[in-house]
Structure 1
Amino acid sequence: MKKNAGVMGFPIAHSLSPRLHGYWIKKYGLDADYLAREVRPENLKDTLRRLPQECLSEGSVFCGTNLTIPLKEAAMDIVDIVEEAAQKIGAVNTVVVNEEGQLIGRNTDGLGFQDSLAEHVDIKTFHNKTALVLGAGGAARAIVFACLMMGFRRILLTNRTRQRAIDLAQDMKSEKIDVIQWEERAAFCKEADLLVNTTSLGMTGQDPLELNLDRLKNGCVVTDIVYVPLETDLLRQAREKGYRTVDGLGMLLHQAKAGFEAWFGIKPEVDAALRDYVLQGLNKK
């Protein structure tokens, strides 16, 4: 029977997920569809609950869906089971339908970030080290969770609105997280073994991220979840100073693997050909 999955959001036209999953579907020769669907938050519950029956009437089976802004938080109260990562992060980006027809809510963003880093550095070396995380939105929650899973001894967290960083730290319930003032971010660079920008600063069309890297610790790895542009000013500065850098596209590609495997039974590969194909789609938008 044909398998269906997709992505829901509002708006949704910007999503690269159909291109990404479509590449894998073709590569592995699957009888499957991955479709984008624009869904308002108030309609998410009815849409999710109705899809399995819709698919059965069309001779296919609904395996699950990705969720993007602004549906990730709304899904927490809709799915039947929320897995630990999604509970900690406070958002669902992947829904899987199990054999009993239950909707399982997952969050694969943290795993995607971790796997993206692992392409460039041995993440075991981060054990008992210090991370400096800029931002306190949904992406920051996933990355702080990933840092905890990787065994960082200390996570320095800062945000332009300090209270959001405090709230994130309290939600994570970890004594390893220290909230620092936004104005002190450059000074704390000297302690960072990993520097992560999770804000929209530096993204095309947004304000620049102002951060002096002169005090950055030797050997620090610098990464940015922004992938438009692919090399942000932060990454360019770090590269020119000789630091290892990781762009944001890797996180996007790697976070998709777990959902694809759960829906279609194949663990897909993230390789240079996939990266180039997704980048071609990115350049067309």
Structure 2
Amino acid sequence: MNHLPTGAALVAGVVGQPIHHSLSPFLHTAWLRQMGLNGVYAPFAPKDEHGFDRLILSCRSNGVKGLNITAPFKAQALALADTVSDTAKKAGSSNLLSFDEDGYVHADSTDGHGLIRAFELQAPDCDLSSAPVAILGAGGAARAVVAALLDKGCPEVRIINRTLARAEELVFAFQTGVTAFDLTQTERAFAGACAVINAASGGPHPPLDALPDTAAVMDMTYRPLKTAFLQSAEPRGLATVDGLNMLIEQARPSFQAFYGVEPWPGFDIRDLALRFLGEA
């Protein structure tokens, strides 16, 4: 079967700045080739917000099926859309823009779906609706996670951030079910939690001593796959969830939105990605 794209190829892509590190083109292209689909998935790297505006305007009329959006354009993507899903509204950002034949843009968010699925795959005994979940970081990534956890039935989401005021912004955004802590209150925030999720971009990580023995620990990054944060959970024997499964699972509904079919579940895309990353 010819896997090379033709002039009738369905075109989609990913947008970010920088974008060279993104694994999304690898994932989507692997699915396209494995399924023998006539499609293309390309990276785009507008220099700034103005460049992103022009890219979206162009995509409204050039036949592009859709775009995945990553930092720093997720909030801007939401603002530029004509229609917005309830999930994206709650997340306060969009990582998925779809374009219809008339040029209208629909915004959605699959980040939360990806996170929930990653827990189901790697920490199936962790019931995210059974106890509080602690999140390190209060940026855009954290907000999408909060929305997903509350939809899942989590009784309390505890935001831990260096700047308390930033964590309190999420409390205000969701009104109920969210509490804020600074780094000096980490032990109290971890107490009784069924999971802790690192959504922070950097900085030293707090000790996990206050977590219950049954808790699961997740890091949203996938480079490296086993981060220092996940390694700190190993002496406790805590279940760990890495960012690669989250990336793969958030990509699946995007692929369906772009190309009209679900990726074939029997294809081990994670193993292929691990080998590509040199983690196999």
Distance 1:188 1:38, change over 3 A: closer
Q: 1:221 deviation in Å?
A: 1.0
**What percent of counterpart residues are identical?**
32
Please say if 1:51 is aligned against 2:52. no
Deviations, residues 249-281 of structure 1 (Å, cap 9, x unaligned): 111111111110111111125678312322344
Q: 1:142 deviation in Å?
A: 1.1
Misfit runs of 4+, over 6 Å: none
Q: 1:100 deviation in Å?
A: 4.3
Q: Which residue of 1 aligns with 2:232?
A: 237
d(CA) in 2 for partners of 1:11, 1:26: 26
SS in 2 for 1:95: strand
Q: Kindly report the root-mean-square deviation, in angstroms, between the aligned alpha carbons of the 2 structures.
A: 2.0
- Work out the number of aligned pairs and report it: 271
Q: Is the 8 A contact 1:253 1:270 kept in 2?
A: no
Q: Which residue of 1 aligns with 2:256?
A: 261
SS in 2 for 1:156: strand
d(CA) in 1 for partners of 2:117, 2:253: 11
Q: Is the 8 A contact 1:136 1:165 kept in 2?
A: yes
Q: Is the 8 A contact 1:95 1:105 kept in 2?
A: yes
Q: Is the 8 A contact 1:3 1:264 kept in 2?
A: yes
Q: 1:234 deviation in Å?
A: 2.2
Q: Is the 8 A contact 1:221 1:243 kept in 2?
A: yes
What amino acid maps onto 1:146 in structure 2?
A
The runs of 5 or more residues in structure 2 that have no matched partner are: 1-7
d(CA) in 1 for partners of 2:274, 2:126: 29
How does the TM-score come out when normalised to structure 1? Answer: 0.88
What amino acid maps onto 2:141 in structure 1?
A
2:207 maps to which of 208, 212, 215: 212
Deviations, residues 217-275 of structure 1 (Å, cap 9, x unaligned): 12111111122221122212212211111111111111111110111111125678312
Q: Is the 8 A contact 1:124 1:150 kept in 2?
A: no
d(CA) in 2 for partners of 1:130, 1:245: 17
Q: Which residue of 2 aligns with 1:34?
A: 41
What amino acid maps onto 2:64 in structure 1?
F
SS in 1 for 2:232: helix
Q: Which residue of 1 aligns with 2:5?
A: none
SS in 1 for 2:61: helix
d(CA) in 1 for partners of 2:183, 2:274: 32
In the TM superposition, 1:25-174 aligns within 5 A as 25-39=32-46, 40-54=48-62, 61-122=63-124, 125-173=127-175
SS in 2 for 1:53: coil
SS in 1 for 2:224: coil
What amino acid maps onto 1:137 in structure 2?
G
What amino acid maps onto 1:238 in structure 2?
A
Distance 1:125 1:38, change over 3 A: closer
Distance 1:194 1:72, change over 3 A: same
What amino acid maps onto 2:119 in structure 1?
L
How does the TM-score come out when normalised to structure 2? Answer: 0.90
Distance 1:172 1:124, change over 3 A: same
Deviations, residues 193-219 of structure 1 (Å, cap 9, x unaligned): 111111123xxxxx432x222221121
